């Protein structure tokens, strides 16, 4: 794609959707992490994002391709795959509801803290950065707040239609699980006026409603 756009004046902006995973393990004193922090990837996925970032920066600097790199932090919403934590919780809660409480909700690490936004806010941020971002810059899209995964599960359980038992399953624990991740969205707010608008309570309720409409 980068090769295809070199030298074309019609291109307004090339946007790379990177990830906050590029930062790896962070200490509390490093938070909220800012876009100028050097990456320290600890997973194959994160390393692939860092490689893509370097490629984009090369085309931006050497071939004048107008490009921004956006490191989006965790985000969720209706229609997200159950491979991710919030929809996985929702799917299990719905199954437990339909079993009249016979099924349980199996969980992994509930102590991890994540900076989670609504996917609809993140997509709006991508659009604004494509329109108003400064070429060559790295931006964050995030809420600026680290939330405990267990607290998000508790909020979903409040919305459930009956009491549901939660069971920890060590098989669900990730081999590499960052304890905390929290970002600063200052540069995105400064350059585009973007800020997260959808409260996490609405996001969780919408996710649960989506899974209740499915045959699972």
pLDDT tens track for 130-161: 999 999 999 999 999 999 999 999 999 999 99
112's CB contacts (< 8 A; 6+ apart) are 148, 149, 177, 178, 179, 180
Q: What percent of the chain has pLDDT over 90?
A: 90
Summarize the confidence of residues 45-54 as an average pLDDT. 98
Average pLDDT, the chain: 95
C-alpha–C-alpha distance, residues 151 and 26, integer Å:
21
Asked if residues 159 and 205 have their Cβ atoms less than 8 Å apart, the reply is: yes
* HSE, side-chain direction, 13 A CA sphere, residue 13: 18
What is the per-residue pLDDT for 126?
Answer: 98
Q: What is the DSSP letter of 33?
A: B
Question: What percent helix, strand, coil does the chain show, rounded to 5?
Answer: 45, 15, 40
**Domain architecture of the chain: domains with CATH:** 2-212 (3.40.50.720)
pTM higher than 0.75: yes
CA atoms within 13 Å, Cβ hemisphere of 113: 16
Q: CA 172, 83, 162, 157: dihedral to nearest 10 degrees?
A: 80
Q: Check: CB of residue 153 under 8 Å from CB of residue 89.
A: yes
Mapped onto helix, strand or coil, the DSSP state of residue 213 is coil
> DSSP character for 134?
P
Please name the residues in contact with 21: beta carbons below 8 A apart, sequence gap of 6 or more: 41, 43, 45, 46, 49, 178
b/e map 51-90, b = 16+ CB within 10 Å: ebbeebbebbeeeebbbbbbbbbbbbbbebeeeebbbbbb
**Do 173 and 108 contact (CB within 8 A), yes or no?**
yes
| CA–CA separation, 200 and 146 (whole Å) | 12
Beta-strand (E) ranges in 13-172?
A: 14-19, 67-72, 75-76, 105-107, 113-114, 117-118, 138-141, 147-148, 166-168
Give residue 176's pLDDT band: very low, low, confident or very high (50, 70, 90).
low
Of the listed ranges 92-101, 116-125, 174-183, the least confidently predicted one is 174-183
């Amino acid at each position: 794609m980068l090769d295809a756009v070199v030298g074309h004046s019609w291109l307004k902006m090339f946007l790379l959707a990177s990830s906050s995973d590029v930062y790896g393990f962070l200490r509390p004193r490093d938070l909220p992490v800012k876009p100028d922090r050097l990456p320290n990837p600890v997973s194959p996925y994160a390393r692939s994002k860092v490689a893509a970032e370097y490629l984009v920066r090369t085309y931006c600097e050497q071939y004048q391709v107008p490009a921004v790199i956006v490191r989006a932090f965790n985000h969720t919403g209706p229609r997200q795959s159950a491979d991710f934590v919030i929809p996985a919780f929702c799917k299990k809660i719905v199954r437990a509801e339909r079993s009249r409480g016979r099924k349980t909700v199996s969980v992994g690490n509930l102590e991890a803290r994540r900076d989670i936004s609504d996917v609809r806010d993140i997509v709006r941020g991508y659009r604004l950065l494509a329109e108003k971002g400064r070429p060559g810059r790295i931006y964050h899209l995030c809420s600026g707040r680290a939330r405990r995964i267990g607290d998000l599960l508790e909020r979903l359980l409040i919305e459930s239609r009956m009491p549901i038992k939660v069971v920890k399953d060590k098989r669900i624990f990730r081999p590499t699980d960052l304890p905390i991740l929290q970002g600063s969205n200052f540069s995105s707010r400064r350059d585009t006026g973007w800020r997260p608008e959808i409260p996490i309570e609405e996001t969780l309720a919408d996710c649960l409603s989506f899974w209740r409409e499915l045959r699972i």
